[in-house]
Structure 1
Amino acid sequence: MSAWIYEVVRDGGYWGIVFLMTLENIIPPIPSELIMGLGGLAVARGDMAFWPLLGWGTFGATLGNYILFLASDRLGYERMEPLVERWGRWLTLNWDEVEALSGFLRRHGHWMVLLLRFAPMFRTVISIPAGLAHMKHGRFLVFTAIGTGIWNALLIGAGQWLGRSLKDAGMWLGYAGIALIAGAAVWYVWRVLRWKKPQD
């Protein structure tokens, strides 16, 4: 399993990295920790280079976040609220949570878009309230690129270190990735089951 995932990342090349990182930020099928971690392993094995991997991975992550931001920016509060209330169970999102994040963003400033890129649970979701707040597009893109760039560099570095330190690094990264995917699936099911319809 881990060897297959590694081959997909390696053989897909940098465009494959862009595609996976973009998709991961919209509908996360494979966590970025695994994508960029395996990318780091590819760097350690000489199949990829650090800077192109970092650049294309950050571009893909920024693009995925920008799609969420644009959708929220264009829809606005009035049109976004009915969508969240209708599909909230499957999005595992309540409108109250969107408003809470928006209030947090207003209170603490747009720097939160940068800082929350390091928080696994919020680094993608923060793009929605940023769009609803009609944050300036250039500022959003810069903050997102800086935050995701630093995060990706850390993940690549960790993958490189494992690749150089452990003989079976690919196997361990594969196990870690499977654990992350399983954990995300359990968390999603838990959120769906605990979701409560907003009271009128």
Structure 2
Amino acid sequence: MKEWILQIMTSLNYVGIGLLMFLENLFPPIPSELIMPLAGFTISQKQMEFFPAIFAGVLGTMLGALPWYYVGKLVGEENIKRLADKYGKWITISRKDIEKADQWFHKHGEKAVFFGRLVPGVRTLISLPAGISNMKLIPFLIYSTIGTTIWVSLLTFAGYKLGEHYELVDEYLAPVSKIVAAILVVALIIWIVRKRTRNQM
């Protein structure tokens, strides 16, 4: 996987970043945790510029998010789950993955699209429940773009700082993503408690 990503990025430059991030959103096994840190390493070697690389990553991600959004909008939740049961193994998406993203969306509302872009395992599929719930396109694009820009920038900067050890980003991100998810859960609980307290007053 790493060699394939490297080959595309070195041969296509910024277009390669955009293409890889587009594919990463369509096929979750392609990891942004390797793509953008590699771009950061390339920047540290003076072969790319920081902001154009981030722009390419964000653009590719947003273009890749739209197909899932419209699949959710046009196909519907139960049909998608049935398709995942039947064909999901080919793109490594299961009914459980869809349900997880759906739970995120219903817990956090439209802001789930923003938060979801920052959590591996959720970020790619969060577009599905947004479409299923008929979230309006403009808010979807705004929340997605903001979350994606933060995510892509952090990964790129980490790769830039780590240099040739950029692969450590992928290695260390798993526990960090769990911490982020835990923080979001705690924040949600606090928000619910405060809301109930205000309603009882």
> How far does the alpha carbon of each residue in 1:147-172 deviate from its partner, in whole angstroms, 9 at most, with x for none?
11101100111111112xxxxx1xx3
Structure 1 pair 8–79 and aligned structure 2 pair: CA distance change class (3 A): closer
> What is aligned with 1:86?
86
Tell whether 2:129 aligns with 1:124.
Answer: no
Kindly state the Cα deviation for residue 145 of structure 1 after the two structures are TM-superposed. 1.0
Kindly state the Cα deviation for residue 80 of structure 1 after the two structures are TM-superposed. 2.7
Structure 1 pair 52–77 and aligned structure 2 pair: CA distance change class (3 A): same
- Contact 1:10-1:39 within 8 A present in 2 as well: no
Structure 1 pair 4–26 and aligned structure 2 pair: CA distance change class (3 A): closer
Kindly state the Cα deviation for residue 28 of structure 1 after the two structures are TM-superposed. 3.4
**CA distance, structure 1, for counterparts of residue 59 and residue 146 of structure 2:** 11
> What is aligned with 1:186?
none
TM-score, normalising length: structure 2: 0.73
- Contact 2:101-2:122 within 8 A present in 1 as well: no
Kindly state the Cα deviation for residue 66 of structure 1 after the two structures are TM-superposed. 1.3
Kindly state the Cα deviation for residue 64 of structure 1 after the two structures are TM-superposed. 0.8
> What is aligned with 2:76?
76
TM-score, normalising length: structure 1: 0.74
> What is aligned with 2:17?
17
**CA distance, structure 1, for counterparts of residue 81 and residue 34 of structure 2:** 33
- Contact 1:40-1:156 within 8 A present in 2 as well: yes
> What is aligned with 1:192?
none
Which protein has greater RCO, CA pairs closer than 8 Å, 6+ apart?
Answer: 1
Listed as ranges, the matches of 1:27-176 within 5 Å are 27-77=27-77, 79-88=79-88, 91-94=92-95, 98-99=98-99, 101-163=101-163, 169=164, 172-174=165-167
**CA distance, structure 1, for counterparts of residue 93 and residue 79 of structure 2:** 18
> How far does the alpha carbon of each residue in 1:63-82 deviate from its partner, in whole angstroms, 9 at most, with x for none?
11111111111112353343
**CA distance, structure 2, for counterparts of residue 56 and residue 140 of structure 1:** 19
> What is aligned with 1:196?
none
The CA RMSD over aligned residues, in Å, is: 2.8
**CA distance, structure 2, for counterparts of residue 149 and residue 65 of structure 1:** 13
SS at match of 1:69: helix
Aligned identity (percent) is 36
| Gaps in structure 2 of 5+ consecutive residues | 175-201
